[in-house]
Structure 1
Amino acid sequence: MAWIEQTGQHAWRVRYQRDTGRYGSISGFSNKKAATDYANDLESDRRRGSWIDPAAGNITTSAWSVVWVETVDVETRTEENYRAYLRNHILPRWGYTTLGDITALDVTTWRKDLRKRYAASTVAGILTVFSMMLDDAVDQRLIPTNPVHRRRRRGRRRDHAPSRLEKVFAMPEHVIQIADQATMLGGPSAGLLVITAAWTGCRWGELAGLQRDHIHLDRGTIIIDPEIGALHESAHELWLGPPKTPASARTIPLPPFLIELLREHLAATTGTFVFTSPLGCRLRRSTFDRRVFRPAVDGNTRKGAQPVRPGLTFHGLRHSHKTWLIADKIPEIAQARRLGHHLSNRLAEVYSHVAPEIEPELLKNLERRWYYAHQTRRPKDSRPRRTPPAPRSAPHAPHTAATLRTTDKLRHRYPRPQHIKPHRGEMITNREARILPNSSVSVHTRDQRPHRTTLIELMRKALRPGKNATIERL
C-alpha cells in the first residue's frame, strides 16, 4: 500500500509500508502528479513481485561484506583469498559507500585505476569477488541490478582478447636438470618430487600429501585417495583432504625406472609422507617454490644453480606430462584418466574406455623418454682418440682386435705382425706362411678353414733337424 503526502507548498512525498511492517517514505517530488505516478508504479511492482525497497540499498558495503562472507561456502584457502581481496582492495574504496550509491560508471573508473597498479589476473580476481557480493545483494533484493557486470564492446580490444601467452613446459632432459639442482638445494626428496611430478602428471597437493600406504611398488602404482588424497594449506595450517575433483581420485601406473627410484627413496627415509623437507616436515608450496623450485628453474648464481626453463611453474610439469602423452599419440581418454580430468565431450567420456594394450605402451614411452633424456645429458667424451690404422691391402692379413688396442709402448716392444717369408731354397707350406710370429692365432682368408697353432708347436717344429733357419727367424 502506497500513498502521497504534501510536505510543503511545492513538495510532495510517497509513503509506503515496508516488508518489516514499518513505514518508509520517498521525498523530492515537486508536484502531486509525479508523486502519484511513483506511488502507482510502486504498487504495480509489488503486484508483479519485482518491487525493491529503496531504503534497502542504504546498507554500506562494509556492513554487507560482513554478512556476505559468512555465507560463502568454499575451501579454506579460497575463503582466505576472498577476505584478502576485501581487506586490501574492495573495502578501502567502497567500504563507506552504500550499495544503492554504487554506479556502473564509478566501477569502470575504479577498474581502470586498478589496471595501472596490478596484473590483469589480480584485477580479474578483485572484480570477481566484488561482483559476487553485489550479485547476492541483488538476490537479496537490496539493489535492482549489479553495476559490476561487464558490458560488451567496452574498453580496449586487447583486454577482451584471449591471452596468447603459452604455458611454459619442459622436455625430459630439462626436468632432469631441474631435478639435479633441486636435489642440490632441497635434498634428494626435492629432486625425486620433481621427477615424479613430471612422469606422473600429479598436482602439487597430490604429491605433497602422498603417504607410504598409498604407494604399491609391487604393483607399480600410486593411489590418490578420494578422502585424504591431497594436502591442503592455508596461512595457518596444513591438513589432508579430498583432491580437486572426484575424477582426481585415481590409480596411476608408474614406469619401471620410477618404481626403482621410489623404492630406494622409501628404504632410505622414514615417516608417513613420501616427500618431505630436509628436516622431515610436511611441504608448504610457497616455501618449496621460493627456496627450491624457482632457483632450480630460473637459476640462482648465489646458490650455484643455472637457469634451465625460466618461467616454468610446478603445475607446468603437469602440462609437460600432458604434452608428452600427446606427442606419443596416447588416446585422449587415457590421458584424461591418468591426469584426473573430465572430457569436454561427456558422451565420449561415457562410451570411451582405456584398452588393455594402451597402458603398457604408455609406460614404455615414458621409460624411453627417461632413457633418452639421460643419453642427451651425458657429457661428451673429450679425451683424445687415436686414429685407427688404414686397412692393409688384400694380400696381407688384417689386424686382430688385440693388436689394434696395443699401446705405443708395447708397439715398440713387440713389432707389428708380419708374414713369414720363405727362405731361399726352401719350400714352406701355405699354412706356415700365414702364422703370426707373435700371436697364437693363425690368420686365414675366407676360402680357407680356420687353423690354430701355438707358439710352442711352432718352436717344436723349428727344432726338428734341418730347420735351423726357421729358428733364427723366430
Structure 2
Amino acid sequence: MAYAERRGNLWRARWRGPDGTLESQPGFQTEKAALKYGRDQEAAIRAHRYVDPRGARMALEDWVNAWFPALDLEPSTLDSYRYLFEVFILPKFGDHTLMSLTAENISRWEKGLVTAGYATKTASNARGALSASLADAVPRYIPLNPAAKRKGKGRKGASRVERVEKDAKVWASPLQALLIAERAAVITGMDATFIADITIAYTGCRWSELLALSPELIHADAVDLHWKLYELNGRFYRGRPKDGSMRTVATPPFLNALLQKHVASGVPLNCACAARIHDNDGVPWCTGGSYAFLTRQGSHYRRSNFSERIFRPAADGWYPQRSPNRQRMPVLVDHGHPWPGKPLPPWPPAEAGKEFTAPQGRGRPRVTDGVRLASWLPVLPGLTPHGQRHGYETWLDEDGIPYVAQSQQMGHEVPGMRGIYSHVTERMLSEIREALERRWLASLRARAALSPTSAVPVLNAALMALPGSRPALPARTSAHHHPRRGDPSA
C-alpha cells in the first residue's frame, strides 16, 4: 500500500511496483501530494498503465537488445529490422534513454536521412522499425510512443498522393499478360517461364507462393497455395503464406492443361538446395524438395535476377540500369525469327543528335547482313509480378464475381458479419473458371492477329489450336520498332 515519508523539508512517495520492488518518487512539497502520487501509481498498475520509472531511464540499445530476441516474425522481417537498427537507428539513438526520445527529434532524424541521400521509403521504414520497438515499451517503460506518426500531421497532401499512387498501381490486361509471358519465355528459352507468368496472372498468387508450388499441389481444376518460399540473403526458406492465407484457387481449363503438361515434360522438378552446417539457426531453410518452377539448373528463381534479366525487359522493352557503369539498354531482337524475334546481346541506345557507333572490341557481337534488327516496344512499363495480382482481382471485378469468392481466391479475409455468413459455392468457382477461360481465348485471338505463330512452343501450339487458325505465315512486325541500318535503337 502506498505511503509517504519525510525527506528533509520534502516528502517522498513510496509504493510497490508490479514485480514487488519498492519504488519511490521524491520532491513533493506536502505529505498529501506524495501519498496521492503513490496511490495513482497503484491505480495505474491495476489498470495496466503503469510506467516503470527505472525502465524509462534505460538506454534504447539496452531495450532493443531485450526486445529483438523475443520477436516471433518472418526471418526476412527480422533481417530487415536488424539492418535498420544497426545502420540507422542505434548509431543515432542507441545511447539515448527511452524517456529522452521525443517526436520532434525523431522527425528531424527521419528528414535528415532523406537529406543525406537515402530514399524516402528507407527513412520511413527506419522510423517504422523504431516505432515498432517503442510501441512494445508502452506503457511499462514510457507512457507514449514518440516514434508513432500521428494522423492528420505532416504535409496535407501526402496521404492523398499516396492514395492516388496506390490506385494507379500498374496492372495488366489478359493480352498484355500474354505478351509479357511470351517475351519472358523467349529470353530464357523455356516454356516453363511462359507457364509460370501465366500462372501468376490467372491465379493471383504471390511470387513466393509460385516458387513454393509443388507438383502434388496441382490438381485437375485447382491449385493449393499452401506454402511460400521466401528469399533471404541468397537462400530460401519455406513457410505458410502471408497472414496465414492458405487457400485452394480455382483454375481455368487452359491453365490446368498447361500445368499438367509442364509437370510431365521432364523439366527439373527437384531443387538443388542442400543442408548446411549452420542450418540449426531456427530458420526453416529449404534443403531440397519438389517444386513446379525451377531454373534450367534446378535452382529457385531469385526475385531480383528474374526482375532485372527477364520480367523488366519483357514488360518495358529495356534492360534496367544495373549499376552506374551499365546504362539502361533496349532489348534488340532478330525479327527474321518467329515472333517476337530472337533476342540479341544488348547495345547502348543511340542518342538524339549524335551519330551512332556500334560497340567494338573483343566479346562484342557483330550484326551480319542476314540479321533483321528490331527493338521491342514497351508492353506495360512498370508492371511487376505482384502487379499481375492486382490485374487478376480487377478481372474478377469486371466479370461480376461475388466479393466473397474474390476474397477466397486472393487469400483475403472478408470483414464483419459478411465474412461470417457468406460462403463460396461451386457455382461461384465455376463462374471464375469460365470467366478466366473466356479471357484467355480472347487474348489468344488478339495475339494471333499480331502473328499466327510464336517462338514459344507451348504458345505456338495454343495458337495453332484456335478455331480457324491459318497456316504459318512470315512473322509480322507490328509490335517491333525497326532501327535504321547501323542504328539498333534509334
Fold shared per TM-score above 0.5? yes
Equivalent residue number for residue 46 of structure 1: 41
TM-score, length of structure 2 as denominator length? 0.67
1:194 aligns with 2:233: no
Residue 428 (structure 2) pairs with residue 340 (structure 1): no
Q: Deviations over 1:408-463 (max 9, x none)?
A: xxxxxxxxxxxxxxxxxxxxxxxxxxxxxxxxxxxxxxxxxxxxxxxxxxxxxxxx
- Quick one: structure 1 residues 44 and 263, their matched pair in 2 at CA, closer, same or farther if it must change by over 3 Å? closer
In structure 1, the residue matched to 2:420 is 350
Write the letter of the residue equivalent to 1:289: S
2:306 to 284, 288, 298: 288
Aligned counterpart, 1:170: 172
Opposite residue 187 of structure 2, the aligned amino acid is: L
Partner in structure 2 of residue 277 of structure 1: 295
- Does the Cα contact within 8 Å between 1:333 and 1:353 map onto a contact in 2? yes
Is the 8 Å Cα contact of residues 131 and 146 (structure 1) preserved in structure 2? Answer: yes
Letter in 2 for 1:3: E
**Offset at 1:264?**
2.9
Report Cα offsets for 1:281-340 as digits up to 9, x if no partner. Answer: 122323322322222222224543542211112111111111111111122222222222
Equivalent pair of 1:4/1:39 in contact (CA under 8 Å):
no
* Residue 222 of structure 2 corresponds to residue 224 of structure 1: no
Inter-CA distance 331–152: structure 2 relative to 1 (3 Å threshold)? closer
Bigger RCO of structures 1 and 2 (CA < 8 A, at least 6 apart): 2
Displacement after TM superposition at 1:114 (Å): 3.9
TM-aligned CA deviation for residue 167 of structure 1: 1.1
Indicate the SS of the match to 1:223. strand
Alpha-carbon spacing, 1:89–1:2, altered in 2? closer, same or farther (3 Å): farther
8 Å contact from structure 2 (residues 13, 37) kept in 1? no
1:208 to 2:191 alignment: no
Q: What secondary structure, in the 3-state scheme, does the structure 1 residue paired with 2:172 have? A: coil
The match for 1:320 among 391, 399, 406 is 391
Amino acid at match of 2:146: P
Consecutive unaligned residues in structure 1, runs of 5 or more:
383-474
Q: Structure 1 residues 174 and 381, CA, compared in 2 at 3 Å: closer, same or farther?
A: closer
Larger radius of gyration: 1
Give the counterpart of 1:372 among 437, 442, 450. Answer: 442
* Counterparts in 2 of 1:160 and 1:115: CA distance versus 1, 3 Å: farther
Match in the other structure for 1:61: 60
- Indicate conservation of the 8 Å contact 2:4/2:13, yes or no: yes
Where in structure 2 are the equivalents of 1:4-403 lying within 5 Å? Answer: 4-6=6-8, 14=12, 19=17, 34=29, 39-49=34-44, 52-116=51-115, 117-139=117-139, 141-161=140-160, 163-165=163-165, 166-188=168-190, 189-216=192-219, 219-225=220-226, 229-235=227-233, 237-250=235-248, 252-266=249-263, 267-271=265-269, 272-298=290-316, 299-300=318-319, 301-304=329-332, 306-344=377-415, 346-379=416-449
Q: 2:6 and 2:240 mapped to 1: Cα distance?
A: 60
255 and 100 in structure 1: CA distance in 2 versus 1, 3 angstrom threshold: same
Cα drift, residue 380 of structure 1: 5.5
Q: Is the 8 A contact 1:181 1:296 kept in 2?
A: yes
Name the CA distance, whole Å, in 2 between partners of 1:207 and 1:82: 26
The change in CA–CA distance for 1:143 and 1:334 in structure 2 (over 3 A counts) is: closer
CA RMSD of aligned residues (A): 3.0
Please tell me the residue identity of whatever aligns with 1:281. S
1:465 match? none
Give the TM-score taking structure 1 as reference length: 0.69
Structure-2 separation of matches of 1:177 and 1:123:
37
Which shifted more, 107-116 or 77-86?
Answer: 107-116
Is 308-317 or 265-274 further displaced after alignment?
265-274
Indicate if the aligned counterparts of 2:14 and 2:38 stay in contact, CA closer than 8 A. no
Structure with the largest fraction of helix: 1
CA deviation after TM superposition for structure 1 residue 279, in Å: 1.1
Q: Are residues 153 and 363 of structure 1, via their aligned partners in 2, closer, same or farther at CA, if it must alter by over 3 Å?
A: closer
In 2, Cα distance between equivalents of 1:88 and 1:275: 36
Identical aligned pairs, as a percentage? 32
What's the offset of the Cα at 1:118?
Answer: 4.5
Give 1:99's aligned amino acid.
L
CA contact (8 A) 1:57 1:143 kept: yes
Partner SS, residue 148 of structure 1: coil
With over 3 angstroms needed to count, the CA separation of the structure-2 counterparts of 1:374 and 1:42, relative to structure 1, is same
Change in CA separation of 1:107 and 1:53 when aligned onto 2, cut-off 3 Å: same
Inter-CA distance 187–243: structure 2 relative to 1 (3 Å threshold): farther
Give the AA of the match of 1:223.
Answer: D
| Deviations 1:21-75 (CA, angstroms, capped at 9, x unpaired) | 8888878x6xxx6486764454233332356443332211111111110121111
Pair 100,180 (structure 1): closer, same or farther in 2 beyond 3 Å? same
Structure-2 change in CA distance of 1:264 and 1:356 (3 Å): closer
CA contact 1:343–1:349 (8 Å) conserved in 2: yes
**What is the CA–CA distance in structure 2 between the aligned matches of 1:289 and 1:222, rounded to whole Å?**
24
Write the distance in 1 (CA, Å) between the matches of 2:414 and 2:24: 56
Work out the number of aligned pairs and report it: 366
CA drift of 1:107 comes to: 2.2
Structure 2 residue ranges without an equivalent (≥5): 270-289, 320-328, 333-375, 453-490
Closer, same or farther: CA 302–23 of 1 in aligned 2, 3 Å: same
How far apart are the structure 1 equivalents of 2:66 and 2:440? 54
For the residues of structure 2 that align with 1:302 and 1:159, how far apart are their CA atoms?
A: 35
Query: Does the 8 Å CA contact 1:4/1:12 hold for their aligned counterparts?
Result: yes
Deviations 1:74-131 (A, max 9, x none): 1111111221221122112111111111123222322333454554543443222212
- Tell me the equivalent position of 2:484: none
